[in-house]
Amino acid sequence: MDYPIHVPKVRLGKREFDIFPLWIGLLLAGFAFGAVGGYQVLRYGLAVTGLNDQVPWGLWIVIDISSIALGGGAFTMGVIVYLLKIKRFEHIGRLAVIVGFLGYSTAGMVLLFDLGQPLRFWHPVVFWQPHSLLWEITMCVVLYLTVLVLEMFPSIMEHALFRRFPFLVKVTHFIHKLGPILAVVGLTLSLLHQASLGATYGVLSGRGLWFRPTAPVMFVLSAIGGGLALLFVLSVLVFRVMRPGLVKDEVLAQLARMAGAVLLLCIYLKLWDWAVTYYYSFDSDVAMQVELLNSIAPYNWSFWLGQVLMGGLVPGFTLITYKPGRNLRLRIVVALMAATCVVIMRWNYNFSGLIAAISYDPYTPTIKLGSYVPTWQEIAVGIGVISYWLLGFSLAARFLPFYDADAHH
């Protein structure tokens, strides 16, 4: 059965307009603006940014680790489809792979500008430093991006443009057979680097607020919950609006309930983590860091309102109780809130530990308050890489079939 692609249109009076060309033009303009900022960074170095020795990570790293986290649905759906053999999620799994590839390639683009020597991006692959967490993360991301390319290849080759070539069809079927192996490798690499991203903050000196042994677990769970929540929103657009009937509404509801369950588990652990750090702890440095953070930004609001309530409890309970036909728009909104919560969490890890940092003095530790304001070049690069993500997803949602056209396969 063939599933035609329905393109969303905007009605003005009695006429309907396809806004897709205008949307693509807007994204290309954002990408071009990012290219201008990127040229400034590559020409003049990090001196054109607002980064400094005390705050070496800023807006770019938040985009980097957020895009990686929101691509967490890829390895999760790989386990569900290929290891647990739940085939009703197969079409969603194809979308998850594309979202994962876009997330990880976005992170790679950001790092290209964030590196002080961008032409040496290949050094970690050749010059191994196995005692470095950042090296392990780099290797895992490079290898997992390779896995995502292999997993995404069949989805692209299913397009009618490529099905006319027998060689590509054979390669596609061969990669399909490697699905379980790729799922295991992808799961291993994803868990390694998602956990290591949280562990990285724990080994940096002077970071006493957010950086505890639970950080690796929180990074993994938030990536799974936030990634599934974003995947639910995108699946509604792709499989309910543009390709109605390809994925049943009950399957979309099951995806939402999975995301809600993981979000509630994540918030449950986060609240215990907060209690151990703030209620049962007598660490004066942590209390001083919080006081300084609240003096320059609404830190407590970003935690309690942004992460716990609006980003965790509300989306978790709303999604876990979702049934087909019951206020889908509300579930889309709360799922977007959960994805935003992941970004806020990554921002807090950078902001709280770098702006209000403990001086490295074991005898007379003090809290030093830094400052950071991103320059237009940083914002331009951020807009550029986000435009790339949206452009890739828009083209995939418009042109890829997301199902196997061969009946025998």
Is 404 a member of any domain?
no
Non-local (6+) Cβ contacts of 48 within 8 A are 40, 41, 375, 377
Is 36 a member of any domain?
yes
pLDDT in tens, the chain (409 residues): 566 777 777 777 778 888 889 999 999 999 999 999 999 999 998 889 998 887 888 899 999 999 999 998 899 998 998 888 898 999 999 999 999 999 999 999 998 898 878 888 888 889 998 888 888 888 998 999 999 999 888 888 877 777 778 888 888 888 888 888 998 999 999 998 888 888 887 666 556 566 677 888 889 999 999 999 999 999 999 999 888 888 899 999 999 999 999 999 998 988 888 787 776 665 666 777 777 777 777 777 777 888 888 878 999 999 999 888 778 889 999 999 999 989 988 888 877 767 777 766 666 667 777 788 899 999 999 999 999 999 999 999 998 888 765 544 4
Is 298 a member of any domain?
yes
For β-strands 15-18 and 9-12, DSSP reports them as antiparallel
**What is the predicted pLDDT for the residue at 237?**
92
Here the tokens at position 361 are: 């003095």
Is 407 a member of any domain?
no
**What is the predicted pLDDT for the residue at 283?**
60
Q: Cα-flanking dihedrals φ and ψ of residue 10, to 5°?
A: -110, 130
DSSP helix/strand/coil, 218: helix
Is 405 a member of any domain?
no
Specify whether the CB–CB gap between 252 and 238 falls below 8 A. no
Closest by Cα among 348, 181, 210, 216 to 285: 210
Is 216 a member of any domain?
yes
Give, as one character, the DSSP assignment of residue 2: -
**What is the predicted pLDDT for the residue at 258?**
94
**What is the predicted pLDDT for the residue at 282?**
59
**What is the predicted pLDDT for the residue at 409?**
41
C-alpha to C-alpha distance for 27 and 387, rounded to whole angstroms:
5
Here the tokens at position 7 are: 């393109």
Is 166 a member of any domain?
yes
**What is the predicted pLDDT for the residue at 27?**
95
CATH of the domain at 389: 1.20.1630.10
Cα three-residue angle 136-48-60, rounded to 5 degrees: 35
Q: Is 214 left (phi over 0), alpha (psi -120 to 50) or beta?
A: alpha
C-alpha to C-alpha distance for 255 and 96, rounded to whole angstroms:
12
To the nearest 10 degrees (0 to 180), the angle between helices 328-355 and 284-296 is 110
Is 157 a member of any domain?
yes
**What is the predicted pLDDT for the residue at 107?**
92
C-alpha to C-alpha distance for 79 and 36, rounded to whole angstroms:
40
Specify whether the CB–CB gap between 267 and 310 falls below 8 A. no
**What is the predicted pLDDT for the residue at 408?**
41
The number of folded domains in the chain is 1
Q: Indicate the Cα dihedral angle 41, 45, 50, 53, nearest 10°.
A: 150
- Rg of the chain's alpha carbons, rounded to an integer? 22
C-alpha to C-alpha distance for 315 and 205, rounded to whole angstroms:
35
Specify whether the CB–CB gap between 189 and 137 falls below 8 A. no
C-alpha to C-alpha distance for 107 and 141, rounded to whole angstroms:
9
Closest by Cα among 189, 187, 87, 90 to 137: 189
Structural domain boundaries enclosing 308 = 9-399
